[in-house]
Amino acid sequence: MNRALPKKTLRDLRRRLPQVVAIGATVMLGVLLFVASYDSFRNVQASYDRTYVRTHFADVTVTGGDPDAMSAAVRHAVGVDRVATRTQVDRPTAIGATKLVGRVVGMPPPSGGDINEIDLVAGRLPDPARDDQVVVERHTADTFGISAGTPVQVFDGTQWHDVTVSGVGQSPEYLWPARNRQDVLGDPHTFAVLFAPESLARTLSGRAAPNQVLVEMTSTATQSDHDRVMGLLRSVGAVDIEDRADQPSNAALHESLHGLSGMAIGFPALFLTAAAIAEYVLITRLIHTERPIIGTLLALGARRGAVVRHYVWYGAVIAVVGALVGVLAGAAATSAYTTSYASLLALPDTVIEHRISTAVIGFVLGLAAGVFAGLVPAVAAARTAPAEAIRGDRVRPNRIGPLTRLSARWTLIPVTARMALRSLTRNRRRTAATMVGGVLALVLILSSAGMLTSVRAMLDVEFGSVQRQDATILVAPGANNVGAQLVAVPGVATVEPTTMARVTVAMNGHTYPTSLTGFEPATVMHSFRTPEGTARALPADGVLAGVALADKLGVRVGDNLTVVPAAGPASKIRLAGLVDEPLGTALYATNTIARSMTNAGPDGYLLRFHDDVDRDRVRAGATALTGVVAYNDTHAVEHQLDSYLVIFWVFAGAMLVLGGLLAFTVIYVTMTVNLAERTGELATLRAAGAPVRRLTTAFAIENLLATLLAVPMGLAAGIGAGWLFLRSFNNDLFNLHLSVGPTALVLAVAVVAAAGVSQLPAARLINRIDVARVVRERAQ
């Protein structure tokens, strides 16, 4: 390289190598995060899609009606690839001592060529010569420890049938084991999926003919083809039509991914912003030290554009290196993240692709952050008035600030401390730059830590104070005296009857499918929290609803809601109040009101256990009772929710680790830039005989005070950023409030501690100053 200015850039950067490396690392982390989160996000989607294509996941599923007529109606329609019929019913099932709802699904023939094909992951397919073998779905097998040979009983409505598990399979319909759209997060012990040969499925269901039609569209089918098929199905009596988008497993996984899409963009943006600000601080302070030189060069006729380009180069060089490494590391992180996600959810197919477009966008974003960070101070440098810059600080007296005047009287305070105090106000821009480090660090950590603590708090509130039952039991219609028998089950402390029903709420032309739960008027199984944070009782008349319903339907307290039960006529009921619950948007009423609205009898019980009870024994005892058809353990539901949030935990955890690294880096940069800028001053003091220890102490006090001053701003900004990220995760399933609590203070202490640790390299730098060289340079 023969040009002088690029040499200057490289040598200047080499002189500030620790800061340059640190800033390059922040750019690298931002780009890494963008590439990893964006490509992983798309990889996960592509993994689902690959499974869906390979297993011919149905685009449309119709239940009920005349499947043969519907099949014939759409078989030759444009855009239709495959059509199949099958039997699917939910039947009381027993696995060992556990009673639960078993879904019997007719299997495609072994020759393949059907829709919703299953992957056998263990054992073998049912023997065609036998009519008592089933394949059990993987989640069911995992929950109950089922393997080939395990016996299962299925009740067809009149009698129990014994079947044997021949193998374990995975289905595109149950990548997430959701029973239906409203029951995404149930106790896995309450629901099992059994794939049976079609003839056995009909036997177990007590049906003579299939009750479902599955339609797979071609890959080139258009939306209008799709709409036409839906129309054809309706024309032959299809009512219960389920699109792929509404398929419970697909919808649940899609919602989980969608909740993170905002974070997948927001966090990289935050990291790159932090990198840009740190870089801005570095280049600004560098330019500040070079003002006389810039003034001289401008006086000599240097073109302003050339000056701008020169300083923009600083940012660009750092950003290019950081972004390149970020792209490469991002590719590695993409593989790791996609693999771990696929592994945690046991996806049948894992697609790991590294997209050039993502790499290019990530690189450009990283470069843009660096260029922009350099551009602002570079333009300011080029606008420097030469005469003023050349005069520099040599003739400009430092303003005597109030702190300086005040501290002059504090003669009892050591001079080191007074120096530090005065330095804070002596150069406010420099102090502000140091404070920026603390603020950014807190924003980076709090935004990710806030997500984790808030979701953790959500789970604690939901399962600690809102849902206070240990188990929920569903009983068969007409079952007698179950409540009294449940009280006698060892370990059960309290039993309350409950009413559970699926309903649709209609208002203002909108509808919302949800659940209505009835409790005893003075229930101890559920607490109702108002949006103001106070507790309230169930209303004697009317219902309570989750706050999200107000937005969904545009309703207000006092309005009369139309509630449509699954069976029976719609009724009107007053909205007596809103409740602020972290999970779901449900309706609550007294049992009396709930039963009158749904025309149903008591269909369930809520249980509270004694402390330290063996939950499995209670489950076994309760499900052994006649009339008990399902048993939901609240702990198991909580565990299931944890599994559902796996992508969130992995992502937010990674953000916290990277955010912590970045925070420390930013603090280090701002602390040491402050030092680099004052090398001349410190060298002069050292030349005058000031002990290194005293200089180091003064410098550390100054930096730590600046960091402490930054803490309130950082906490406010960090909490604000966390709140914004959390908003992107809120929907009618999750109603999250930012909850950081003592974590904020712990993180503030950590940031100050990080600032303290950053003083160690700073102290080494002070110790290593080449006094002679610096003094000679500064004397020019």
Partner 1 sequence: MTSHLRGGVRLHGVSKTYGEGAAAVHALQEIELDVPAGKFAAVLGPSGSGKTTLLNIIGGIESADSGKIIVAGQDISGRRPRDLGAFRRAHVGFVFQFFNLISTLTAYENVQAVIELTGCRDRGRIPDLLAAVGLSDRGAHFPAQLSGGEQQRVAIARALATDPDLVLADEPAGALDVATGRRVLELLQQTSRSGCGVIMVTHNEAAAEVADHIVRMRDGAIVSEDRNAMPADASTIRW
Enumerate binding residues for partner 1 (CB under 8 A). Answer: 3-5, 7-8, 11-12, 15, 290, 292-293, 295-304, 306-307, 310, 385-387, 390, 394, 773, 776-777, 779-780
Strand duo 191-197 + 133-137: pairing: antiparallel
Nearest approach, Cβ of 302 to partner 1 (angstroms)? 4
Count the Cβ atoms, other than its own, within 10 Å of residue 751: 31
Coil vs helix vs strand at 83: strand
Q: Which of 285, 287, 279 shows the shortest CA–CA distance to 384? A: 287
Q: Which two tokens stand for residue 212?
A: 């479902």
Count of residues making up the chain: 780
Nearer to partner 1, 385 or 657 (CB): 385
Nearest approach, Cβ of 394 to partner 1 (angstroms)? 8
Nearest approach, Cβ of 32 to partner 1 (angstroms)? 31
Nearest approach, Cβ of 756 to partner 1 (angstroms)? 31
Strand duo 88-95 + 98-107: pairing: antiparallel
Q: Which two tokens stand for residue 411?
A: 């003669």
Nearer to partner 1, 583 or 774 (CB): 774
Nearer to partner 1, 632 or 679 (CB): 679
Nearer to partner 1, 364 or 772 (CB): 772
Nearest approach, Cβ of 458 to partner 1 (angstroms)? 54
Burial, 91: exposed, middle or buried (Cβ in 10 Å; 0-12, 13-18, 19+)? buried
Nearest approach, Cβ of 679 to partner 1 (angstroms)? 11
At CA 173, angle to CA 171 and CA 179, rounded to 5? 120
Nearest approach, Cβ of 275 to partner 1 (angstroms)? 24
Q: Which of 354, 271, 275, 377 shows the shortest CA–CA distance to 320? A: 275
Nearer to partner 1, 12 or 117 (CB): 12
Q: Which of 633, 538, 550, 530 shows the shortest CA–CA distance to 188? A: 633
Distance (Å, whole) CA 3 – CA 6: 6
Beta bridge partners of 607: 471, 495
Nearest approach, Cβ of 387 to partner 1 (angstroms)? 5
Q: Which of 167, 175, 124, 125 shows the shortest CA–CA distance to 349? A: 175
439-to-447, 628, 709, 748 alpha-carbon distances in Å: 12, 57, 9, 10
Residue 269 half-sphere exposure toward CB, CA atoms < 13 A: 8
Nearest approach, Cβ of 383 to partner 1 (angstroms)? 8
Nearest approach, Cβ of 429 to partner 1 (angstroms)? 22
Nearer to partner 1, 399 or 773 (CB): 773
Coil vs helix vs strand at 134: strand
Distance (Å, whole) CA 264 – CA 33: 8
Nearer to partner 1, 316 or 630 (CB): 316
Count the Cβ atoms, other than its own, within 10 Å of residue 199: 12
What are phi and psi for residue 467, nearest 5 degrees? -85, 110
Nearer to partner 1, 123 or 295 (CB): 295
Nearer to partner 1, 693 or 776 (CB): 776
User: In 55-177, which residue ranges form alpha helices assigned H by DSSP?
Assistant: 67-74, 138-144
Nearer to partner 1, 305 or 402 (CB): 305
